[in-house]
Amino acid sequence: MLFSKQNIPLNKTGLFSSFFKDYISQSEKVKPFYSDHIHKKDFATYLEKNPFKDLNRTQLVKSLQKQSAAVDNTSAASAANIGFLKSITTFTVTTGHQLCLFTGPLYFIYKIVSAINLCKTLKENFPDKNFVPVYWMASEDHDFEEINHVNVFGKKITWNSSQKGSVGEFSTEGLQEVITELQTILGDNEKSNELIQLFEKAYTQRHNLTDATRYLVNELFGEYGIVILDGNDPELKQLFKEEFKKDIFENTPFTVVNKTIDELKKNYSAQVTPREINVFYKDKGIRERIEKQGERFVVLNTEISFSKEELENIIENSPEKLSPNVVLRPLYQQMILPNIAYVGGPGELAYWLEYKTLFEFFKISFPILMPRNFVMLFDKSTQQKIQKLNLSVDDTFRDGEVLVKELIKVQHDDINLEEVKTQMASLYGSVLETVSAIDKSLIGTAEAEKQKAINGLIAIEQKINRSLKQKSETDINQIWALKEKLFPKNSPQERTDNFSMYYSKYGKEFIDSLVSELTYDLEKFEYTLLKEI
């Protein structure tokens, strides 16, 4: 075992929006925007309804089997889980993420672990059912700048490419140079070399980013039965044709979701704003929004446009050329999967909460929205620094300036000029009374002298504090170094650091320990602190 675990309430971290915290605590203000919550009784209710009886499981399994064959390392556990999906008593737990270079920030890993462990928890509570963890690859996303870099030990590694369109179709040519750069940073040791070899197999022996990411995720999580789904699938998109039509020609999601947003804005801000058309046109090197201009449907930033009849023909015969945006993708997901829960971060769950009425309109089941595990890792060195500074791990979530001020106060608690200022003000009060009784014209002079004396004390106080800070410089620097390690660039470690930093130290045991420790409690949800043993 690598870590000991400690949980703290979300409120103690200061990291979350009121909307997210209100959802977790089941505030009355949020209840209109979801159907079932994260508790066991809600899952029982959901399973009892079993809203997936009409799902096309045959096509789902066929597509997943075809996709899994694109790489040669799909595990027996994952293949078995795909087979289980034929049964009406099998349900999925899905998480989704972009195809980030080398998996990107740590929370990519945490999301998949969360989906795996939620399935375990549900199986323990409902042993007559099967639960399959699904990683939905956002292969159609076109925002390359969001996924083309990784942060390792404070250094940013970037994959530069001029390719355009859906990132999943990007060629992996040229990535060996990026892997070599990472290898230099990680150093030469057994576990680092093991990881570099894995990255080389994934990125230099696969032709596109989709297959590379599939291979990598299989290697990391295949033994736990992860099923990897690429929504960029012609046969699966055939199942979504009517929803494409409703969006493009009737703007239904735009109308329905905006009504929900109007209600939401009475207490919160909206995470996502729908467009009149929430569909991209996708082709080689292209993924651009469709917009109606007059009687034509124009593909922005291109010379391409369609009549209504031409676009109807594409929907019927080539739906793979259409790609849902952030408003339609959740609907598409729930249309093709027997998905009982979606695992995501605060931003994701915030935009899902805008969609309940949209799902009701289309008569598609709305999942239970589960927060992913939020994690902070404390190695032995960090724990020793915390102890030396007389802090607790909880304290590390507090503002750095506050910690510095408290440190100075604790180290020099005999300094208290506030009391002297009060005494001086009282003394000058007596002087002013005397002056006023003798000659009121001298009051201004006395007031000026009073202020001069107080200003002198303030100047002395500032000099004392500067002196104290210099004396405490080592400890102060350690506080800021600690904050930078746990919150690089003021962002939580999990949103910045790549897992390679930890894999190069612990190896595959790091992944196994996360799966072991990040368990789900269906009665409450808290932040997880993992402390190296």
Tens of pLDDT, residue by residue over 76-100, are: 999 999 999 999 999 999 999 999 9
Nearest CA to 495 out of 4, 100, 18, 181 is that of 100
Tokens of 262: 């109007």
- HSE of 527, CA atoms in CB hemisphere, 13 A: 20
In a domain, 289, yes or no: no
204 shares a domain with 89: yes
518 shares a domain with 500: yes
CA distances from 68 to 214, 338, 385, 397 (A): 8, 18, 46, 41
Tokens of 214: 């599939």
420 shares a domain with 496: no
Say what the pLDDT of residue 385 is: 95
Query: How many domains are there within the chain?
Result: 2
**162 with 182: CB under 8 angstroms?**
no
Nearest CA to 60 out of 91, 98, 28, 16 is that of 91
Nearest CA to 127 out of 197, 49, 47 is that of 47
Say what the pLDDT of residue 453 is: 82
Give backbone dihedrals phi and psi of 247, rounded to 5 degrees, phi first.
-75, -50
In a domain, 207, yes or no: yes
* Intervals of the chain under pLDDT 50: none
**222 with 78: CB under 8 angstroms?**
yes
In a domain, 211, yes or no: yes
In a domain, 269, yes or no: no
389 shares a domain with 360: no
**DSSP-based three-state secondary structure for 319:** helix
What's this model's pTM, rounded to 2 decimal places?
0.89
Range of the domain at 24: 3-238+326-374+492-532
345 shares a domain with 196: yes
Say what the pLDDT of residue 39 is: 93
Say what the pLDDT of residue 413 is: 54
Say what the pLDDT of residue 272 is: 94
457-466 residue pLDDT tens? 888 878 887 7
128 shares a domain with 34: yes
